Structure 1
């Protein structure tokens, strides 16, 4: 990542939601950014998938009683020069959000991957997690997402493979069970030393 490029997290609102959808349509596949929507060509941004993307965020982070907090990821300097390139989220693992653990999630547009943006975002997300009172974050990805697995390891996590039906559900076809990789990240109790990326609150 260019050292002059600022990475910012801004809490998702209706004003940013349209820009987030535009970033997803232009630079990511539907399955990378939201649950699957039935229909032909799962990689196509149909009208129904665009509507489902909006419903998904409005029902979770923009609801009257949100179940998670979503942040738009922006790169660039100043409001006029910032571009939405993805999203990050924190979802409490305990009912009511009063616990010390949360699941973290992140997606970035293809053109912004492999440039250090993801690492900067996770550093900011850890700060937000600390401010919210969380002490550990669960990082979950897929084995083929090598960059995400390496990022979790670089941040002190110990990635471990987990079967999708590890909870004992054996009804599914064993040949189609998806394996996931999980890692726990410790949330620093204090702000790390050194240069900081922007963590603008809004």
Structure 2
């Protein structure tokens, strides 16, 4: 596993780096909910990105925890854990990594760290969603023992954290 990949809880100082990484290395639809208007990183879309993170993970009562993914101290993406209210002790994981860092082992390192953080927070199950075309994510999740189900283009992974080393 890569030792130069770390997760840091998102704060205001990391939020600017996260936006910069998204603008430089990701499509807006990969990293945030859709926003009306022309394609690309418009000023409105950048502001919406910042507002979204402030309202969800930097709020006084955050919805979940977002982590900046760092490779050698450079922000290259984000990962999150969101408690699932109707699923007992389960969390939903989400990850996006800038294009230039995909396929280099960053995703595997991030996922293993998320599993550790989820367990440390008391979670017993992890759920992750991806698309049918994201075979790299599916491969990572099945390697760790996740069960995958497919519904159209949506793929959902479920992993019992008590069964993962």
TM bracket (short chain): over 0.9
Of 29, 32, 38, the match for 1:31: 29
Alpha-carbon separation, structure 2, partners of 1:75 and 1:186: 28
Larger radius of gyration: 1
Offset of residue 158 of structure 1: 1.8
Alpha-carbon separation, structure 1, partners of 2:13 and 2:144: 32
- CA 1:188–1:121: 2 relative to 1, 3 Å: farther
SS in 2 for 1:185: strand
Of 45, 50, 75, the match for 1:49: 45
Question: Structure 2 unaligned runs (5+)?
Answer: none
Matched residues, number? 165
Whether the aligned pair in 2 keeps the contact of 1:126 and 1:188 (CA below 8 Å) is no
Of 172, 185, 189, the match for 2:159: 185
Question: Structure 1 unaligned runs (5+)?
Answer: 77-81, 164-178, 193-202
Alignment correspondent of 1:113 = 102
Q: Deviations over 1:171-202 (max 9, x none)?
A: xxxxxxxx310011222489x5xxxxxxxxxx
Q: Deviations over 1:81-129 (max 9, x none)?
A: x10000000001117xx94101000000000000111000000001100
Over aligned residues, Cα RMSD in angstroms?
A: 1.8
The structure with the greater share of residues assigned to helix is 2
Q: Deviations over 1:121-157 (max 9, x none)?
A: 0000011001110011101001111111111111111
With normalisation by structure 2, the TM-score equals 0.94
The structure with the greater share of residues assigned to strand is 2
Alpha-carbon separation, structure 1, partners of 2:49 and 2:101: 20
With normalisation by structure 1, the TM-score equals 0.77
Paired residues for 1:56-95 under 5 Å: 56-76=52-72, 82-94=73-85
Structure 1 stretches of 4+ with a deviation exceeding 6 A read: none
Alpha-carbon separation, structure 2, partners of 1:59 and 1:104: 18
